[in-house]
Amino acid sequence: MKLISVSGSQTINMDKNSLLRKIPKVDEILSILELDCCIESISQEMLVSAIRAVLDELRTAILHGALNSPDLLLPERIAADCKARLHFAERRSLIPVINGTGVVLHTNLGRAILSSKAANSALQAGRSYSTLEYSLENGTRGSRHEHVENLLKHITGAEAAMVVNNNAAAVMLILSTMVAQKETIISRGELVEIGGAFRVPDIMVQCGGILKEVGTTNKTRISDYSAAISPVTGALLKVHTSNFKLIGFTESVDITELCALGAANSIPVIHDIGSGLLYDVGIDCLKNEPNVLSSIKAGTDIVSFSGDKLLGGPQAGIIVGKKKYIEACKSNPLARALRVDKLTLAALEETLFAWRDTSIALREIPTLAMLNSNALERHERAVRLKARLSEIHSQVVLKVLSDDCRVGGGSVPGEVQQGYAVSIDIPGISPDKLDDAFRHAPIPIIGHIKDDHYLINCCTVFEADFDIIASELSMAIKEKLQ
């Protein structure tokens, strides 16, 4: 019944009409779908509306002459189409992926991953009532900051602490509390943009303060800061240039020197250290990264950092420092708008518990564990993944290649660690095609292409992911090789 040669409008109409008559009834499709156990969880309303949508599309296609085979109108075929659509509609958008990029803190892939204890703690906090703002001791209202304040004080040596939504929020809160209407002195080498529209000069304008820039892009000396101090100076600000590296003829003022200047002039020093490394954990590539403990020791009045970078916890902005400034930040109305939720606090408390002991932190916090693993361990993991994948298909060519591991997330720019990847070459499937197939797998794999080879970097892949990668590889081969 294909409309190969159409001689007159009469023929078309007749064929269209007979096709239209062949469209099954909603109930007929419904009765097929209701027998299918895979769609038990879907309500009758949703089934009916999916069926109607498919039937409407078929009707439109027939009327436009785009459908001319009655085979496409078989009830079983339409039911299968409805089922695929219902499954597609049930898909979630925020789903786990396997990180085969070798970038440990990948901002697009959610930065730090939680320890299992921290993730469980967030789950518990979400599934039950909690002591979020309740004091069990007094039976009265408590503070949401208390859950982590003592831990942060204990670990960093600070007098007080509070937590907000993220570090960008922390910086905003600090500046609008401490330096509104006043001048804040900052080095021209630290006027950074930290992703998106977060630029230090713009934030200062938002907060009603005035930025007093000193020094040059590559060199700023302590005398530049002291010459800029005046009666309207509200603070000295140091921002860690976490996402770029200035090399060559450079000079900057270290935090100890800046704190001495601040103290001598009774001006508070604010330090945005970005990454949230709480103290030196002895990982080689982090040796030049500023840490919170050292900054507090140097005498910094207020330090701010992220929860989901090197701290290895949930997204959060943490502020530690002198009690009078933290108290002022807590009572700023903006604090209410930037406040952190209970799932985050639960995960953060658990992560901070691990940080009380270096060896526990290195073992339990995935970010630190990944960065702490050595080249030999990484090589062995890549060899094990290669072995697991080699069972799948004789035509797949697998190799273990050297492939850098990076910290990422705007931390430690330029530093790479020795890492290893498994390269996967399949005759008849280009690296781009394989990349595409993996990105569309049930648990997507995000690898990368280097020198025309598809690579899965093993520094950021877990043993538990091996079976998933293997099954998704065999699916990709089945679909594309046959």
**Tokens at 316, concatenated:** 């959060």
In the complex, what is the shortest distance from the CB of residue 314 to ligand PLP, in angstroms, rounded to a whole number? 11
- CA distance linking residue 434 with residue 452, whole number of Å: 12
Among 156, 166, 300, 367, binds ligand PLP (CB under 6 A): 166
CB 420 within 8 A of CB 457: yes
In the bound state with ligand PLP, the residue whose beta carbon lies nearer, of 82 and 105, is 105
| Number of CB atoms found within 10 A of residue 452's CB | 10
Size of the site for ligand PLP (CB under 6 A): 13
The number of C-alpha atoms within 13 Å of 36 and in the hemisphere containing its C-beta is 20
In sequence order, what are the residues at sequence separation of 6 or more whose Cβ sits closer than 8 angstroms to the Cβ of residue 316? 163, 164, 165, 166, 306, 307, 308, 340, 344, 348
In the complex, what is the shortest distance from the CB of residue 196 to ligand PLP, in angstroms, rounded to a whole number? 9
Give the DSSP letter of residue 41: T
- Residue 172: enclosing H or E segment and its boundaries? helix 167-178
Site residues for ligand PLP, window 258-297 (CB under 6 A)? 272, 274-275
In the bound state with ligand PLP, the residue whose beta carbon lies nearer, of 242 and 294, is 242
In the bound state with ligand PLP, the residue whose beta carbon lies nearer, of 321 and 410, is 410
In the bound state with ligand PLP, the residue whose beta carbon lies nearer, of 373 and 411, is 411
In sequence order, what are the residues at sequence separation of 6 or more whose Cβ sits closer than 8 angstroms to the Cβ of residue 465? 98
Site residues for ligand PLP, window 305-324 (CB under 6 A)? 306, 317
Residue 167 in contact with ligand PLP, rule: CB under 6 A: yes
Binding mask 409-428 for ligand PLP (x = CB under 6 A): -x------------------
In the bound state with ligand PLP, the residue whose beta carbon lies nearer, of 171 and 405, is 171
The number of C-alpha atoms within 13 Å of 452 and in the hemisphere containing its C-beta is 3
Site residues for ligand PLP, window 200-239 (CB under 6 A)? 239
In sequence order, what are the residues at sequence separation of 6 or more whose Cβ sits closer than 8 angstroms to the Cβ of residue 50? 82, 85, 86, 89
- CA distance linking residue 158 with residue 322, whole number of Å: 7
In the complex, what is the shortest distance from the CB of residue 108 to ligand PLP, in angstroms, rounded to a whole number? 13
In the complex, what is the shortest distance from the CB of residue 440 to ligand PLP, in angstroms, rounded to a whole number? 29
- CA distance linking residue 329 with residue 343, whole number of Å: 22
In the complex, what is the shortest distance from the CB of residue 306 to ligand PLP, in angstroms, rounded to a whole number? 3
In the bound state with ligand PLP, the residue whose beta carbon lies nearer, of 168 and 207, is 168
In the complex, what is the shortest distance from the CB of residue 459 to ligand PLP, in angstroms, rounded to a whole number? 21
**Tokens at 347, concatenated:** 């995960």
In the complex, what is the shortest distance from the CB of residue 199 to ligand PLP, in angstroms, rounded to a whole number? 11
User: Would the CA dihedral through 166, 171, 172, 173 be positive or negative?
Assistant: positive
Residue 344 in contact with ligand PLP, rule: CB under 6 A: no
Token match 């009690």: residue? Answer: 323
In the complex, what is the shortest distance from the CB of residue 171 to ligand PLP, in angstroms, rounded to a whole number? 6
In the bound state with ligand PLP, the residue whose beta carbon lies nearer, of 233 and 344, is 344
In the complex, what is the shortest distance from the CB of residue 179 to ligand PLP, in angstroms, rounded to a whole number? 16
CA distances, 257 to each of 214, 228, 266, 295, 451 (Å) = 16, 15, 14, 11, 47
Site residues for ligand PLP, window 27-56 (CB under 6 A)? none
- CA distance linking residue 21 with residue 58, whole number of Å: 12
Residue 240 in contact with ligand PLP, rule: CB under 6 A: yes
In the bound state with ligand PLP, the residue whose beta carbon lies nearer, of 155 and 168, is 168
Give the DSSP letter of residue 100: -
Residue 102 in contact with ligand PLP, rule: CB under 6 A: no
**Tokens at 264, concatenated:** 């001598």
In the bound state with ligand PLP, the residue whose beta carbon lies nearer, of 317 and 431, is 317
Residues that bind ligand PLP (CB under 6 A): 166-168, 194, 239-240, 242, 272, 274-275, 306, 317, 410
